[in-house]
Structure 1
Amino acid sequence: MNRLTPASDGTPLRGVPSGGPAPGDVLSDLLRRSAKGDQQAFAQLYDATSARVYGLAVRVVRDPAQAEEVAQEAFLEVWRTSSRFDPDRGSALSWLMTICHRKAVDRVRSAEASSRRDTSYNQHNQAIDHDTTADAAQASMEARRVRDALTGLTEVQREAIELAYFGGYTHTEVAGMLDLPVGTAKTRIRDGLIRLRDKMGVGS
């Protein structure tokens, strides 16, 4: 994967390979500087986080080439919207990963919609599979319930759960990304899941 360095017109360009992660406070500072148009800060931000962002994209879209496109789209949005980052609402890395996850999910949904259109075109004279349609509708409803329930969690619980269950990271990885002891990360995830279960009205 290549580095995105914003050009004078605000469009990221390809460059050199990326590096490893950076502490949360450093990432927050880089985001603040990027919001002021600091291209060097953005390049450093990319170097520090691109591997994580790309890894999340691969987990969601399951295709390396599309994952790279998703990651680049995510960083383009980061460059354009970095002024919206609020450190009081969560870590810089969590903010970045949320943007990437949304882009990746949009890519998957777009591909699924295209596939459905093709299938509909090819099978428009065939009987509708009502069971499949009902299952898809139920899955959509469940996803909406989860999203609604997530809004009822605290910021720290939500960012930990998003990384662990949307991002697919282990408790140890979540702890490292959020600059927390592993025990604290586990507690946040556990408490968040309990609260999420209560919000959704799911039995023990």
Structure 2
Amino acid sequence: MPSPLTRPMRLPLFWAFLRIGLLGFGGGPSMIPLIQQEVVKRHAWMDEETFGDVLAIANTLPGPIATKMPGYIGYRVAGISGCLIAVAAVIIPMILAMIALLGVFSRYREMAWIQGMSHGVIPVVIVMMVQLTLDFWNKSRVALGWWISLTMAAVSGGLIYWLGVHPGWVVGSLLLGAMLLPLGARRKEAPR
């Protein structure tokens, strides 16, 4: 149950995720920078480190990230009602847009402006993803150092792109390793 302090947060939560739902062209991964902008930079509901942790855990769970992250963030900000508000606000525009746009696209798909519209969004999504990548690179570099970050990126990329390992397994393995590493370090330090 949310505290009385979180009740006024429901309306900003709704508008934040409605904007994400309206502007999130390209699906879940392209929405991540928009979620980060609203949650971390605009409203400061969580810091960069917490956002990175939420993103990592959301990637290991099944289902679309476009609903997992709003659900958790909404719950964190305003309890169960915040979860429902955030998820509804992010999916309602998608549902309505899909119904409307699929009808338009199927009827006018051969027209140049329809094809241009779909191609014109791609560079913007690329820029958003590069910005998110740079933000996470800087966070990793500061926390782990250059060499460890590069090594982990190279190994993860190799597993995902060359060996076809699902990204959830890679992220899950890294989370498990991070949980067990301090335990192993503590055992080495313990007196015998």
TM-score (norm 1): 0.30
Structure holding more strand per residue = 1
Structure holding more helix per residue = 2
TM-score (norm 2): 0.31
